Structure 1
Amino acid sequence: MKLLVYSAKDFEIPYLKKANEKGHRIAFCNEALDSETAINAVGHKAISIFSGDDASVTVLEILWNLGVRYITLRSSGYNNINLKRAKSLGFKVANTPNYSPHAIAEHAVALLLTFNRKLITANTQTHQYNFEQNNLIGFNLHGKTVGIIGTGRIGSIMAKIMHGFGCNILGNDLEPDDDLVENCGVTYTSLDDICRKADIISLHIPLNSRNYQLINKSKFIMMKQNVILINTARGAIVETNALLKALETKNIAGYCTDVYEKEKGIFFKDHSTEGITDEKLIRLLSLPNVLLTPHTGFATEEALENIAQITFENIDDWEEVGICQNELGLELIES
């Protein structure tokens, strides 16, 4: 099968080539998929897209008319594809679930520790031969209350790590995990209760219509002034305007994130020469109580290997049996 990989990053290409054991004909495109770059898919029966690619209605219709029939996402989330329209057109769509929940959860913890213990400031100072400690004071995680929004594959690992630090854990999920209750002492409660009580809040939920701007002005008002909010899920789960106000007025202590609501066209590129024009992101990055990484939570060797492997398992299954275990939207056909 001929496969075009959109948003192909230099560091992931070797993993994808290695995983192509069945010898599919692969082409790599470093541009993101959108209405203009969709034409690149001419002659390809399948495409692979990443979280920042645009698979909206218009783009899907262009792809279908070009002969594309299979779309495999190199991510577990799929909010960037209009799944209902994809299925009505006849596309086969699959994601890469559970590629490495440890990578994301560990990155969330890394953000927390880096922010709390002022590691970036400390490193900068010592490289300038400044060994003072006056502005490097953090706090113990032991005994703190951590609220975890979403205790699925990633959130459950986050809960286990925080349990290891000796934290008190509050959880919020549509389907509580009895094992976390028994083994990690997780107490399931409402989102509002977590906002009121938690010293640290970590988001591990998908972006959908129900969760869009879930953390908004009303939620920030409930939070403690010393709370640290961690977001390794999706940027649009947090209302950016409300977040900026909460940070600028010190209504919350800090925001540690690997994602941004409008990261398309900004993340995964070097803008160090020309700069950026997104005023909200510029404001966010100007704040001392913000730690932002450019969507690198997935970037571990193990995760990249798994993403590549699952990507080609999806392609192999489609070519050999016409369906794959990671296929999305089957319920849309049945309904």
Structure 2
Amino acid sequence: MKVAVFSAKAYDEQYLSQAGDDLELSFIESRLSQQTVSLSRGFDAVCVFVNDQLDAEVLTALHANGVRHVALRCAGFNNVDLDCAKKLGLGVSRVPAYSPEAVAEHTLALVLTLNRKLHKACNRIKEGNFSLEGLLGFNLHGKTVGIIGTGRIGLATAKLFSGFGCHILCHDPYPSDEIAALQGKYVPLDNLFEQADIISLHCPLTPDTKHMINSQSLAKMKEGVMLINTSRGALIDTQAVIQALKSRKIGFLGLDVYEMEGDLFFEDLSDQIIQDDVFQRLCTFPNVLITGHQGFFTHEALVQIAQTTVNNLRLAAKGKHDQLTRLA
């Protein structure tokens, strides 16, 4: 099977090549889009990531170029027009679970860094400033944490917070029995907004969840709430969040994802002028911490992502579509 791997970085090439030495993998740095889809000509499959474009126009062009399978090396699939893929007969597979602990631990890292201001303290020490003024934090023990979405990642996150002695509130249309073992409980979303000191998002992006954090939901939250998003950027209405930061309704904001990250994340733009004024405004707040979709980025996660992706491609090549972790 000949596979075009789009949005390829050095680590993609390293891990996918190790897992799929029996496949003919070609690594393409460019994102898959209407402008680059011509590069898929002559390939049996494409391997894509979170910011690749897979709308009806791109999928139709892929099919015309001879591509018969789309392998996502990620869990999210909001960037894929699944109805169009199904009509075209294009197989679509994904990686539904890859070291959920990786994202959960990154979530906790954002919380601890924001709370104890570790990033600021580190910079101060380097400058010879050992003052503690402005570095006051709070104990996690005894705080109420709201987990929205209790799939594998949300559950792993709840376990970590439980270990810190936090009270766990959850919301998910599909409750997990394991939450009860953590003395956590499921509550209506409005109750979670009203009671949580820390709110962490771990749900997929769907029409129902898009901008679930908006001016109305923010108004229900505690003053000074900590909001963490390591899931999908568009779960948050960024403009509403900026207003909530200005009014101090949000006391701490930790983001590993951003609604318009496609033109920013995974690239080195350090010598360029960033044109996204909304993102630049976020960066001006002293109580905001942003990482560039880094939550998944551990050795263990990359091994699992590569193995599952390559296995999906092998099964697709053999026509064993019933065994795929497929979407279409």
- Interval containing the TM-score (normalised by the shorter chain): over 0.9
Give SS of 1:236's match.
Answer: helix
Runs of 4+ in structure 1 deviating by more than 6 angstroms, as ranges, are none
In structure 2, give the amino acid aligned to 1:219: S
Give SS of 1:44's match.
Answer: coil
Partner of 1:146: 145
Alignment of 1:197-208 (within 5 A): 197-208=195-206
Partner of 2:2: 2
2:128 and 2:115 map into 1 onto residues whose CA distance is 22
Partner of 2:191: 193
Give SS of 2:150's match.
Answer: coil
Give SS of 1:12's match.
Answer: helix
1:229 and 1:262 map into 2 onto residues whose CA distance is 18
Establish whether residue 258 from structure 1 lines up as the match of residue 227 from structure 2. no
2:255 and 2:134 map into 1 onto residues whose CA distance is 22
1:126 and 1:218 map into 2 onto residues whose CA distance is 41
2:38 and 2:12 map into 1 onto residues whose CA distance is 23
Alignment of 1:169-184 (within 5 A): 169-181=168-180, 183-184=181-182
Establish whether residue 18 from structure 1 lines up as the match of residue 18 from structure 2. yes
Partner of 1:303: 301
Partner of 1:270: 268
Q: CA deviation at 1:211?
A: 0.4
Higher deviation after alignment, 320-329 or 81-90: 320-329
Partner of 2:67: 68
Partner of 1:51: 50
Partner of 2:128: 129
Aligned residues: 327
Give SS of 2:59's match.
Answer: helix
Partner of 1:333: none
In structure 1, give the amino acid aligned to 2:325: N
Deviations 1:96-147 (A, max 9, x none): 1111111111100000001100000000000001111111110000000000
2:285 and 2:30 map into 1 onto residues whose CA distance is 30
2:229 and 2:273 map into 1 onto residues whose CA distance is 24
Q: CA deviation at 1:14?
A: 0.7
Establish whether residue 240 from structure 1 lines up as the match of residue 244 from structure 2. no
Deviations 1:140-191 (A, max 9, x none): 000000000001110001111110000001000001112211x101111011
Establish whether residue 39 from structure 1 lines up as the match of residue 41 from structure 2. no
Could you list the runs of 5+ residues in structure 2 that have no partner in the other structure? none
1:197 and 1:161 map into 2 onto residues whose CA distance is 19
Could you list the runs of 5+ residues in structure 1 that have no partner in the other structure? 330-335
1:240 and 1:309 map into 2 onto residues whose CA distance is 35
Establish whether residue 90 from structure 1 lines up as the match of residue 118 from structure 2. no
Q: TM-score, normalised by structure 1?
A: 0.96
Higher deviation after alignment, 144-153 or 12-21: 12-21
2:78 and 2:43 map into 1 onto residues whose CA distance is 23
Give SS of 1:147's match.
Answer: strand
Q: What percent of counterpart residues are identical?
A: 43
Q: CA deviation at 1:11?
A: 2.0
Partner of 2:26: 27
In structure 2, give the amino acid aligned to 1:300: T
In structure 1, give the amino acid aligned to 2:238: T
Give SS of 1:230's match.
Answer: strand
Q: CA deviation at 1:12?
A: 2.4
Deviations 1:255-301 (A, max 9, x none): 10100000112111111111210111010111111100000101000
Partner of 1:332: none
In structure 2, give the amino acid aligned to 1:37: T
Partner of 2:218: 220
Q: CA deviation at 1:225?
A: 1.4
In structure 2, give the amino acid aligned to 1:295: H
Q: CA deviation at 1:7?
A: 0.4
Partner of 2:229: 231
Q: CA deviation at 1:319?
A: 1.4
2:282 and 2:8 map into 1 onto residues whose CA distance is 27
Whether the 8 Å CA contact 2:316–2:324 is kept in 1: the answer is no
Alignment of 1:147-162 (within 5 A): 147-162=146-161
Q: CA deviation at 1:217?
A: 0.4
Q: CA deviation at 1:13?
A: 1.3
Deviations 1:210-246 (A, max 9, x none): 1010111001111111210000000100111101100
In structure 2, give the amino acid aligned to 1:248: K
